[in-house]
Structure 1
């Protein structure tokens, strides 16, 4: 069985909508929907939220994601490419995964069935 890592990026300093990743949507923070669908899919060996904010860390862990460490500021700017934080977290995890998937919190309506079609 392949070991697939789920990465959920949740930067704290959103430019257009302040704290968008933890905005309330029908009683839950936005990020919770992404964590829930990742857990429900049973596809991922590990679900990791990559964030630079301790408040986001607490919320992500409450909903079942791991947050091994806060993301460095230089990888959390509006101009930081994904590859910077992806390399950083893969080094931190020091575990061998066969693949990884990035699920952004800003797509809360995805269903677990979309993963099963892969």
Structure 2
């Protein structure tokens, strides 16, 4: 079973036991996070979200990504500028994808 979830303004296609890197979420390593913004579960598409569907995840790691360097140069003016940025992220492990059987049996 797979699902499409939304977190941090981005969409991710996940299945059980996957690990995904998402925008920083509050919590510590080992905390359980329930994501209710499920856009699609195998065979069911939400409008905009699937009611009764929850993706249960566990925080594996909180960290920072590799540095991205933005270099700006103005030619012939001896002017240049270098800026670095490291984005915070959360590494999630998908534990299970839960669906409310009552809501899904009514739709079929």
TM-score (norm 2): 0.23
Comparing both chains, which one has the higher relative contact order based on Cα–Cα distances under 8 Å and sequence gaps of 6 or more? 1
TM-score (norm 1): 0.22
Higher strand proportion (structure 1 or 2): 2
